[in-house]
């Protein structure tokens, strides 16, 4: 079983990603739309409003955890990581908009409405668990 390939399949298909941060022993979880680029292993992109409170949290602590949110048809199949970090991307939304539009239904409308307020962030995954079912979990490293 190629768990790295399964990781990418799960991330691509996931309804969203739940990103968890912790600042001063206060945890917070947020759902984000996301996309991946096959040319950048272990990197997941998402866009967010640059004035969002989560941006300040990312600046205070770049270490995060995340879990994919499965689509209902997949049951509990998901990928999760306690060893990931987040950073503002060097790419602008304009530079990666085609990647977002291809992978996120309706993202073109989001760009039309608020594209000028969006910054791109990257989740860099160091290790992740790929859960395909009971007793069927594999680990991946990037």
CATH number of the domain enclosing 11? 2.30.110.10
CB 81, CB 66: distance < 8 Å: yes
Quote the CA–CA distance of 130 and 38 in Å, as a whole number.
18
Q: Is the pLDDT of residue 114 over 90?
A: yes
Report the percent of the chain where pLDDT is more than 70: 100
Over residues 23-55, the pLDDT tens digits come to 999 999 999 999 999 899 999 999 999 999 999
Structure tokens at 31: 């759902």
User: At a CB cut-off of 8 Å and minimum separation 6, what does 7 contact?
Assistant: 79, 128, 130, 140
Tell me the average pLDDT of the chain.
96
Structural domain count, the chain: 1
Largest pairwise CA distance in the chain: 45
Per-residue pLDDT tens for 68-103? Answer: 999 888 899 999 999 999 999 999 999 999 999 999
What was the pLDDT predicted at 74? 85
Question: Considering only CA atoms, which of 24, 25, 3, 135 is closest in space to residue 80?
Answer: 3
Residue 6 has pLDDT above 90, yes or no: yes
Q: By residue range, what is the domain housing residue 20? A: 3-141
| Residue 118 scores a pLDDT above 90 | yes
CA-CA distance, 54 to 134, in Å (whole number)? 33
């Amino acid at each position: 079983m190629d768990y790295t390939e399964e990781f990418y399949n799960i991330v691509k298909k996931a309804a969203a990603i739940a990103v968890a941060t912790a600042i001063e022993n206060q945890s917070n979880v947020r759902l984000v739309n996301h996309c991946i680029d096959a040319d950048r292993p272990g990197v997941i992109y998402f866009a967010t409003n640059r004035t969002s409170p989560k941006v300040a949290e990312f600046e205070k602590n770049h270490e995060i955890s995340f879990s994919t949110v499965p689509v209902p048809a997949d049951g509990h199949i998901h990928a999760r990581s306690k060893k990931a970090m987040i950073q503002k991307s060097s790419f602008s939304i304009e530079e990666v908009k085609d990647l977002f539009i291809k992978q996120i239904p309706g993202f073109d409308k989001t760009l039309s409405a608020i594209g000028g307020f969006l910054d791109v962030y990257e989740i860099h995954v160091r290790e992740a668990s790929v859960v395909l079912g009971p007793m069927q979990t594999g680990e991946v490293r990037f």
